[in-house]
Amino acid sequence: MDRGIVTFVIASVFAAIAPAEDSFVNWEHGQVHPIDITPDGSRLLVVNTADARLEVFDITTGTPVHVGAVPTGLDPVSVRARTDSEAWVVNHVSDTVSLINLDTLNVVATIPTGDEPADVVFAGAPQRAFVSCSQVNIVQVFDPSDLGASPTSVVIEAEDPRAMAVSPDGSTVYVAVFESGNSTTILGGGGTIGGLFPPNVVNDPLGPYGGMNPPPNEGVAFDPPQNLSNPAPPGVGIIVKKDEASRWMDDNGGDWTELVSGSLAGNSGRPTGWDLPDRDVAVLDANTLAVSYVPRLMNFV
């Protein structure tokens, strides 16, 4: 049968059996700060991510009244009102920020950003706009009074900075890292790729259990006890976590530090001194742009 006819028949069958509600799929990204209110409390701003618009509501009576919608870039995920008449909308796919006049309900400027912007806040003296760019791990700093000037890019040494907040005095910007670490890593102990990687370090006799694999889970024993009539269990990997003393420990108190970052790190496929930073929130000085980090807050914040 002709290939084109086969394709047409298959497509027709799927079209016939597919539920009507499944005929359209949204692909928009997750929102970060989709709702805001102007400083004077008169307008409610909501990003319409699927339709690439900013919806504006009058809330002076206590009941939201829709007053208009402003087209933005693709996938608006955040909105912040800088003044009573000015809003900044972050467009995640377009890699832009739409600057919107809330009195005339139109875009008055389109500001290019780094890849995949996620949020915007205003801080510092004089006030500047801070835009998190999640794909390239930077925060770009813009001067609202001179939008033609090139922004300053602040490197965030963590993966996927997204949501932001500002201290009450406007001097500090907090940047939540979406895919931050949690100070854990896994050591190979089962199968390998081509017999080479990852090295089977759980079987290493220099490990805390002398190469016993599976490793014990209760001191030097197993709880519940192993059934000795069962066949030999398969080898497994093991998860270790860096503690407050920077030691790589398993949940049974086994210390794997030498095999993870110490002189024997090569046995687990790592260089000596290897580390895995845990940076959950980046803290920016809004005036000097100095960066520090807050660890151990869990990941996906």
Residue 5 has pLDDT above 70, yes or no: no
Confidence bin at 40 (pLDDT 50/70/90): very high
How confident is residue 14, by pLDDT bands cut at 50, 70 and 90? very low
Side chain identity at 42, as an amino acid letter? S
Average pLDDT, the chain: 90
Residues 126-175 have pLDDT tens digits of 999 999 999 999 999 999 999 999 999 999 999 999 999 999 999 999 99
- Judged by DSSP in three states, 239 sits in strand
Check residues 166 and 295 and name the one with the higher pLDDT. Answer: 166
Quote the CA–CA distance of 177 and 118 in Å, as a whole number.
11
User: Which has more pLDDT, 15 or 109?
Assistant: 109
Confidence of residue 179 (pLDDT cuts 50, 70, 90): confident
Q: What local confidence, expressed as pLDDT, does residue 298 receive? A: 67
Residues in the chain: 301
For the chain, report the end-to-end CA distance as a whole number of angstroms.
Answer: 54
pLDDT digits (tens, 9 = 90+) for 51-85: 999 999 999 999 999 999 999 999 999 999 999 99
Task: Report the alpha-carbon distance of residue 60 to residue 40 in Å, rounded.
Answer: 10
208 in Cβ contact with 230 (< 8 Å): no
Has residue 226 got a pLDDT over 60?
Answer: yes
Are 54 and 47 in contact by the 8 Å Cβ rule? The answer is yes
Higher pLDDT, 72 or 13: 72
pLDDT value at residue 150: 95
Q: Helix (H, G, I), strand (E, B), or coil: what is residue 257?
A: helix
Is the model's pLDDT at 6 over the cut of 70?
no
pLDDT, position 1 = 42
Residue 247 and residue 262 in contact, taking contact as beta carbons nearer than 8 Å: no
Coil/strand/helix, residue 185: strand
Asked if 56 and 105 touch (Cβ cutoff 8 Å), the reply is yes
Higher-confidence position of 6 and 169: 169
The answer to whether residue 285 scores a pLDDT higher than 80 is: yes
pLDDT of residue 64: 94
Q: Tell whether the model's pLDDT for residue 206 goes beyond 90.
A: yes
Buried-state track 72-95, b at ≥16 Cβ within 10 A, e below 16: bbebbbbbbbbeeebbbbbbbbbb
